[in-house]
Structure 1
Amino acid sequence: MIELFGVTKHFGEEVAVDGISLRVAKGELCVLVGTSGCGKSTTLRMINRLIEHTAGEIHLDGQPVRTFDEVTLRRRIGYVIQNTGLFPHWTVARNIGLVPRLLKWPRQRVRERVEELMALLGLPMAEFADKYPRQLSGGQAQRVGVARALAADPEILLMDEPFGALDPITREALQLELLDLQARLHKTIVFVTHDMDEALRLADRLVVMRQGRIVQQGAPVELLHAPADEFVASLLGGDTRGLKEAALTRVRDRMLPLGPRLLAHERVAVDAPLSQALSLMLWHRVDRLTVVDDEDIPIGELSLRRLVGSKT
């Protein structure tokens, strides 16, 4: 879907991006991470030509992006930024319907699409359609920004620190909503963040950048197990990498079937992360949990030895 071949970007004498190559497969959620100034946002903006690359090539579906008309290219790629970019004097409904109107969709089709997306993102039409951005909370405004980016049903979504300005609770809620949306819509997403926990939670492919170059890329668990160097290891949490891996691994992956012993008093959900199970064990001072399904029915057990990877 998206391919970068030796892409470089200069700003005067400064090299912001230095000969990077990357392939983002169709339907993949690719997260770019790194310290400030590493080139991740510049890389994102070169994909939809908000910034023109200096050298190399960027392809969408095998076609160089420079062969597309700039306006047409940007209308087929959803773009979400940290401050939402909503027009303050337009209502929520009008903001969401912007790109379909520019594409000259029939009025009824635009309205139906706006209604569909507002429902999808938990913004009831009757309550929010006629509100203005100033009347929204940060989380609501960011949902409107995502809805607007999805309005013309683009195959590609670019997201530049979209949740960076939100409080931790709202941020986590929107991360989970994005994962739920992605499970249903299967968009190709390139997501920029400096928050490693966010990156690990969201990414199918994690791309670590440093000083304009890609240092390492792969599945999050692969990078946690085998960081390429000390920089990557430090960025991933250093000696706390095991805890971050536990946040990615589910209880179902380590549980055993119910044994002959009495059920442990404390319970954990089968789809909970191992980090939650460990927290429960520490909090309640136990070394075994009963694993329950969605209906709170016991289906297995998890011991501390199994949680930390022992086969016994």
Structure 2
Amino acid sequence: MIELRNVSKLFGQTRAVDAISLSVQTGELCVLIGTSGCGKSTTLRMINRLIAHSAGSIRIDGRDIEQIDPQQLRRGIGYAIQNTGLFPHWTVARNIAVVPRLLGWPAARIRRRVEELLHLLDLAPAEFAAKYPSQLSGGQAQRVGVARALAGDPDILLMDEPFGALDPITRESLQNELLRIQAQLRKTIVFVTHDMDEALKLANRIVVMDKGRIVQQDSPQALLAKPANAFVENLLGGQERGLKQAGLLRVATLMQVLTTAAAPLAGPRIKATDNLRQALSLMLWHRCSSLPVVDEQGRQVGVLRLDALLDRPR
């Protein structure tokens, strides 16, 4: 869906992006990560021509973006940023409707789309459609920003640290919302962050950048297993790599299934859908070496033993 070939960007004599090549597949959630000034946001903004690239080529669905009218290009690409960019004097409904209006959609279709997206982002239309941005919490405003980015039903969504300014609880909630929406809609998403935990949670593929270059790109699991160099290893958390890897695996993958004859276990319980990092934390806190595993209805379906965590393959 998106292909960059030997793309560079110069600001005067400064090379912000240096001959990078990257392909993002249809339906993939690709995360660009690195320290401040590494070129990740510049790379994102070159895709929708908010910043012109200095060299190389960028193609979307096989078309060179320089052959596409910039306004037409941007109307076909959703864009969500950290400060939302909502128009303060417009209602939530009007903010979400801005791209469909530019695309010339009929009023009835726009109204249906706004309501659909408000429901999708857990914002009741009757409560939120007529509100103004100043009447929203940070998390609600960010949800509206995501809804606006999705309003024109684009195939591509670009997200530049959209949850970076939020508190940890709201941020986690919106990360879960994004994963839920992505499971339904299967958009092609390029997501910029400086938070490795966020990248590991969201990404199908992580692209690590440093000094304008791509240092390594791979799945979260492969990146944790074999970082290319000390920079990537440190970005992944150094000695905490084991915990971060455990956070990618579900309890169900290592639990021992409970037989019908086995008696239910007592003690702190964990869900089969929780991750192994959460399980290890419970074991350490309660000083136990096994946990009863339950399903979404609270019924015990298995047991997770500490030995299984220690023996898990890397």
How high is the TM-score relative to the length of structure 1?
0.98
Letter in 1 for 2:103: L
Gaps of 5+ in 1: none
1:83-232 → structure 2 map (5 Å cutoff): 83-232=83-232
Aligned to 1:270: 272
What is the SS of the residue equivalent to 2:178?
A: helix
Deviations 1:208-241 (A, max 9, x none): 0000000000100100000000000000000100
- The answer to whether the 8 Å contact 1:264/1:288 transfers is no
Deviation at 1:262, TM superposition (A): 5.7
Match of 1:306 among 302, 305, 308: 308
> Structure 2 counterpart of 1:60, which letter?
I
Looking at structure 2, the residues matched to 79 and 144 of structure 1 have their Cα atoms a distance apart, in angstroms, of 12
Q: Deviations over 1:260-289 (max 9, x none)?
A: 576242211001000111111111110001
- Map of 1:240 onto structure 2: 240
Structure 2, unaligned stretches of length 5 or more? Answer: none
Q: Which residue of 2 aligns with 1:289?
A: 291
Residue identity matched to 1:80: A
Distance 1:137 1:8 in 2: 38
Does the 8 Å contact 1:293/1:299 carry over to 2? yes
1:25 — aligned with what? Answer: 25
Aligned residue type for 1:213: R
| Contact 2:264–2:300 (Cα < 8 Å) also in 1 | no
1:112-132 deviations in whole A, cap 9, x for unaligned? 100110111111111111111
C-alpha distance in structure 2 between counterparts of 1:219 and 1:254, whole Å = 21
- State the shift of 1:256 in Å: 1.2
**How far does residue 307 in structure 1 lie from its aligned partner after superposition?**
1.4
Are 2:292 and 2:303, in contact at CA under 8 Å, matched by a contact in 1?
A: yes
Partner of 1:36: 36
Superposed structure 1 runs of 4+ greater than 6 Å apart: none
Aligned length: 311
Letter in 1 for 2:282: L
2:263, 2:120 → 1: CA distance?
45
What is the letter of the counterpart of residue 102 of structure 1? L
Further displaced range: 283-292 or 181-190: 283-292
Q: Distance in 2 between matches of 1:176 and 1:262?
A: 31
Calculate the aligned-residue CA RMSD, in Å: 1.1
Q: Distance in 2 between matches of 1:205 and 1:149?
A: 22
Deviation of the 1:308 alpha carbon: 2.0
> Matches of 1:169 and 1:310 in 2, distance apart?
30
Tell me which amino acid in the other structure corresponds to 1:37.
G
Following the alignment from structure 1 to structure 2, what is the Cα–Cα distance between the partners of residues 195 and 226?
A: 19
Query: CA separation in 1, counterparts of 2:308 and 2:108?
Result: 56
